[in-house]
Amino acid sequence: MARQHQHRMADVTGGLRMAGIMLRHKTARSGFVFVPIPTKPFPPETWEECPGCHQVHQCKTVHAIVNDSGLVMVSAGVLEDMKHSPTWDEWEVVGEEKEPPPLHIDGKSSLSLLEQRQKQDQEHRRLIIGRR
Ligand SMILES: [Zn+2]
């Protein structure tokens, strides 16, 4: 049970500390996009409210937080999972980032998790543009 919990929390901030793949959602902007992975179901006895989004997920669900351009960075492992989602066709692969800057989540920040993430994604995007 505890392990499932960690898994789900890992998805909330998923993959941002490692090399990753930049994805763009074709329509969603600035917010959560839930990507269910039905090939990775959770046993019913572990179904409980998700600490990240307060929904009950019956299978592994990637919590992608897209910025105002619909961009999100995911790890290679998360990308593989997302390719098994029925909603995968809503995404396009934009590029690969070998060493993205770490994501800092500050529990004492006045900003929400989503706002912190959006702010850092904006900064991250400027870094990418600035390097080219
Ligand atoms: Zn959730």
The residue ranges of every structural domain in the chain are 2-131
Distance (Å) from CA 10 to ligand 1 centroid = 10
Alpha carbon of 41 to ligand 1 centroid (Å): 14
Return the DSSP state at 58: S
Dist CA 61 CA 82 (whole Å): 9
- Asked if 61 contacts 37 with a C-beta cutoff of 8 angstroms, the reply is yes
Whether the per-residue pLDDT at 92 is higher than 90: the answer is yes
Mean pLDDT for the chain overall: 79
From ligand 1's centre to the CA of 26, what distance in Å?
21
pTM of the predicted structure, to 2 decimals: 0.61
27, 38, 55 from 49: Cα distances, Å:
27, 18, 5
Residue 83 has pLDDT above 90, yes or no: yes
Q: What is the CA(69)–ligand 1 centre distance, in A?
A: 22
Instruction: Note the pLDDT of residue 47.
Output: 95
CA proximity to 21, closest of 97, 84, 121, 86: 97
CA atoms within 13 A on the CB side of 106: 8
Of residues 60 and 110, the one with the higher pLDDT is 60
Whether residue 125 has pLDDT greater than 90: no
If you measure from the C-alpha of residue 65 to the centroid of ligand 1, how many angstroms do you get, rounded to a whole number? 12
Task: Give the distance (Å) from ligand 1 centre to CA of residue 37.
Answer: 12
DSSP state of 94: E
Quickly state the pLDDT bin for 132 (edges 50, 70, 90).
very low
Residue 36 CA to residue 58 CA, distance in Å, equals 9
| Ligand 1 mean position, distance from CA 131 (Å) | 34
